[in-house]
Each structure stands twice: as structure tokens, then as C-alpha cells.
Amino acid sequence: MSDWLLSLDGTAEGRNLALALAILAAVLHAVFGALQKGKLDPWLARGAIDVSYSVMSLPIILFVVPWPEPHLWPLLFGAMGIHLVYKFFQAMAYSRGSYTVVYPVVRGMGPLVTMLFVGILFHDRFEESYNLVQWFGVLLLSCAIFTLGGVNLMQGGIDRRTMGMGLFFAVLTGFGVAAYTTWDAYSVRATVNPFTFIFWLFFLDGLVFPWIALSRYRKMAVQPSLSSMASRGIIGGLVAFASFGSIMFATRLDKVGEVAVLRETSVVFAALIGWLFLHEKVGLLRAGLMVAIAAGAVLVEFSG
């Protein structure tokens, strides 16, 4: 399967597949975000998800994918460190701020900073350059996402005593998104078999955060049931495999910045999920902002 995917690199079919994978990742990322910021403490939810996908990936790295090349090990451990910092900031943001405010800020930061990062890292080697229309699309998408977060903030019912720190950590999380997106895209292109990087990263990435979650769990006066944590972890682990795997292959087949922008349409899918399944009100303003987000993504993808 990896040979077939790699044969599409640089082709029109590969670009179309990258587009489909990026949109799939956006849908799954909206689901993943809801899983982590639910009734369960975000630190515990993340720990349960991490231990699940680490255990799931163990038989694959032992018996299915090739062993990492020597030059891949520093990239794997670098990715492990970046993901750990990103998850720490994310948990801090989710535990202090409202999801409907924090999530748009994180996702709005991601594409803008990612395109700046990839322009520096990839320009000479992979020709990651963007025209003015694409930059306008990124600004349109990011501004619409930030505005969506502001609209949600003004709705009321939000604890503003902790919201400031929540927004601060949301901005840091956005930089973390850009950092891991750029690093992972570079790394997945640096190995012969992209499945090697993907599954080894899942295994390594899940080794640390569960211990942080366990320490927090032991200090809780009222501890959630292990069954609820296990179910959340297993579902989240499967969604993470599909979401992260989709975005990694998309960055292998298409420009990293364009893929990163398309993924951030997850904000639109999160709102649609709330409207269709949770019966939340969208309203004319939110609907207009979602159209602007989609328009920005279209400009980036189809004007390159």
C-alpha cells in the first residue's frame, strides 16, 4: 500500500487524494477534539487516548513496518518532544477555557504559523512557496476562525476569571500545532516507508502523557470510572490513527501549508456536528463565518 501511495507523489491523482485525506482529517479532528474536551477531565482523556494508541501500535512496529533508518531516530524523538509540549499546552488551555472559544483560537493560529514555518524549512528542498491569493485565503480563514471564537466568547456563560489563561495557552497550542505539523511533514518525507514514522511516533508519543494523567487521577477526590476512561481512550485512539495518518499522507503528497489550511476546516465540521447531532443553534453570523472559513481554504488549495 505504501508503494502505491508513494507512486502518486507529484501527480494530479496524488493532489486529489491529498485533498480528500485533508478533509477527512478535518472531520476526524473535530471528533477528536470533542472526545478530549468532554465531561472527562482533559488530562485524563488525553492520557487514556495516548496509552490506547501506543498499545495498538506496538504489534505493528514489531511485526509489520520496517525498522526505522538510523537518521530517522532523531526525527522521531524530536517529534515525540514537540507533541508532548503541544499536548501539555492543549490540556492547560482546555482545563482553563471554554472549548468553543479555545478550539477556534488554536485552529486559527495553526495554518498561519504553519505556512510561515514551511516557507522557511521546505522552500529550498521541496519548493513550498505560496502566492498572494493563497496568503489572502490563509488570512481570511484564520480571521474567520478567530472571529468565531470571539462570537462564542461574547455569548456568555463562560468563566472569564480563567479565560485569559485559557486563551494564552490556546495561542501556545496553536504554535505547537504549527511546530508538529511542520516537523512531522519533514520527517515523513525523510523515510522510505511513511508507515514506519507514523506508527513508531504513535508508540513513542503515548509513553509519557499517561503517567501525567495517572498522577492527576490519584490526586482526585472523585475519580471517574476506569470503564469510561477506557472507552474514551479506545475510541480516541482509533480516531487519532485515522486522523493523523490521513494528514501525514496528505503532507507527503501535497504542499504542507495547503494541507494544514484544509485541516483547519475542522472548525466548520465541529459546528456542523453540534448543529446536526447536538441541536445547537448556529445563527446567521456563525453560518457566514463558516462560509468564510471554507472560502479561505478553497482559495489556498485551488489558487496554487
Q: Which residue has the higher pLDDT, 245 or 121?
A: 245
Q: Is the pLDDT of residue 197 over 90?
A: yes
pLDDT for 207 equals 93
Work out the number of other CB atoms within 10 angstroms of the CB of residue 63.
Answer: 7
Q: Is the pLDDT of residue 204 over 90?
A: yes
Please give the distance of CA 119 from its chain centroid, rounded to a whole number.
20
Please give the full DSSP string across 128-184, using - where no structure is assigned. Answer: ----HHHHHHHHHHHHHHHHHHHHHHHTS---HHHHHHHHHHHHHHHHHHHHHHHHH
Q: What is the CA radius of gyration of the chain?
A: 19
Q: Which residue has the higher pLDDT, 278 or 168?
A: 168
Whether the full predicted model's pTM is greater than 0.85, yes or no, is no
Q: Which residue has the higher pLDDT, 204 or 224?
A: 204
Instruction: Cell numbers for 141, please give them.
Output: 480563514
Report the half-sphere exposure of 74 (CA within 13 A, side-chain side).
4
Q: Is the pLDDT of residue 1 over 60?
A: no
Q: Which residue has the higher pLDDT, 279 or 88?
A: 88
Q: Which residue has the higher pLDDT, 78 or 293?
A: 78
As for how many domains the chain has, the answer is 1
Confidence of residue 125 (pLDDT cuts 50, 70, 90): very low
Which residues have CB under 8 Å from 125's CB, separation 6+? Answer: none
Residue numbers of the domain that contains 268? 2-302
| Cα–Cα distance measured from residue 62 to residue 205, given in angstroms and rounded to the nearest whole number | 16
| Cα–Cα distance measured from residue 199 to residue 240, given in angstroms and rounded to the nearest whole number | 11
